[in-house]
Chain A
Amino acid sequence: MQQQTPPQQQRVAASANPDISVIGDFRGLYRSYGSHNFDAVFNEAEFSFQSVVDPYARADFFYSVVEDAATGEFSSEIEEGYLTTLSLPAHLQLKAGRFKQQLGRVNPIHAHALPFVDMPDAYVNFFGEEGLKGDGVSLIWLLPNHTFFQELTVEATNVGENPSFERSAKNNFLYLAHLKNFWDISDNATLELGLTGMSGENLAKKITNIGAVDLTYKWKPVRYNTYKSVTFQNELYYSQATLDSSTVNAIGFYSLLNIQVAKRWFLAGRFDYSNNPYSEKFLQESGSLTLGWYATEFQKIELEGKYTTMNEALPENSNEKEFALAYLRWIFLIGSHGAHQY
Chain B
Amino acid sequence: MKSKIILTIITVIVSAKISLAGTIHVVTTTQDTKSIAELIGGNKIDVFAIATGYQNPHFVDPKPSYIIKLSNADLYVTLGLDLEAGWSPSLLTSSKNKKIQKGSDGYVDASVGVSLQQVPSSINRAEGDIHIYGNPHYWLDPLNGKTIARNICNGLEKISSENKDFFEANLKIFYAQVDMKMKTWNAAMTSFKGAKVIAYHNEWCYFESRFGFKIVDFMEPKPGIPPTPSQLVKIIKEVQENNIKVIITSPYFTASSSDVVSKQTGAKTLVLATSVGAFESIKNYYDLFDYNIKLLTAGLK
Q: Which residues of A contact B (CB under 8 A)?
A: 1, 3-9, 11-13, 52, 55, 58, 84, 86-88, 91-93, 140, 142, 145-146, 148-149, 151, 180, 182-184, 187, 190, 192, 220, 222-227, 263-264, 296-298, 338-339, 341-342
Contacts and interface: CB of A to CB of B under 8 A. Distances in A.
A9 B89 contact: no
A8 B112 contact: yes
B98 A87 contact: yes
Interface of A is mostly: loop
Contact of A12 (B56, B125, B133): B133
A149 B154 contact: no
B133 A6 contact: no
The residue among B65, B120, B164 with the most chain A CB atoms within 10 A of its own CB is B65
Interface of B is mostly: loop
A3 B165 CA distance: 11
Contacts of B97: 91
Contacts of A339: 62, 85-87, 89-90
Nearest to A56: B98
A70 to B, nearest CB: 35
Measured as residues with beta carbon below 8 angstroms from the partner, the interface class of chain B is: 35 or more
Contacts of A296: 125, 129, 224-225
Interface string B152-179: 0010010000001100100000000000
B193 interface: no
A55 B101 contact: yes
Contacts of A12: 119-120, 132-133
Contacts of B113: 5-9
Nearest to B222: A296
Interface of B: 52, 54-56, 59, 61-65, 67-68, 71, 85-87, 89-90, 93-98, 101-104, 112-116, 119-120, 123, 125, 129, 132-134, 147, 150-151, 154, 157, 164-165, 168, 224-226, 251-252, 254
A222 B68 contact: no
Contacts of A190: 63, 65
Contacts of B115: 9
Contact of A223 (B89, B93, B165, B252): B252
A86 B98 contact: yes
Given A11-B133, A84-B93, A52 B102 contact: yes
Nearest to A263: B226
Given A7-B113, A55-B103, A182-B65, 20 more contacts: A3-B157, A4-B150, A9-B113, A11-B116, A13-B123, A86-B93, A87-B101, A88-B98, A149-B64, A149-B68, A223-B52, A223-B55, A223-B252, A225-B252, A226-B252, A263-B226, A296-B125, A296-B129, A297-B86, A342-B61
Given A86-B93, A225-B59, A6 B150 contact: yes
A337 B86 CA distance: 9
A5 B112 CA distance: 9
A190 B63 CA distance: 9
Contacts of A220: 61
Contacts of B251: 223
Given A12-B133, A91-B96, A6 B151 contact: yes
Contacts of B68: 142, 145-146, 148-149
A182 B154 contact: no
Can you list the 8 inter-chain pairs with the closest CB atoms, starting with the nearest?
A6-B113, A87-B98, A149-B64, A182-B64, A91-B96, A13-B132, A339-B90, A223-B54
B112 A6 contact: yes
Nearest to B224: A296
A6 B143 CA distance: 13
A3 B151 CA distance: 10
A88 B114 CA distance: 34
B168 A1 contact: yes
A296 B221 CA distance: 14
A225 B90 contact: no
A77 to B, nearest CB: 25
Nearest to B128: A296
Contacts of B114: 6
Nearest to A148: B65
B133 A225 contact: no
A339 B85 CA distance: 8
A324 to B, nearest CB: 34
B186 to A, nearest CB: 23
B254 to A, nearest CB: 6
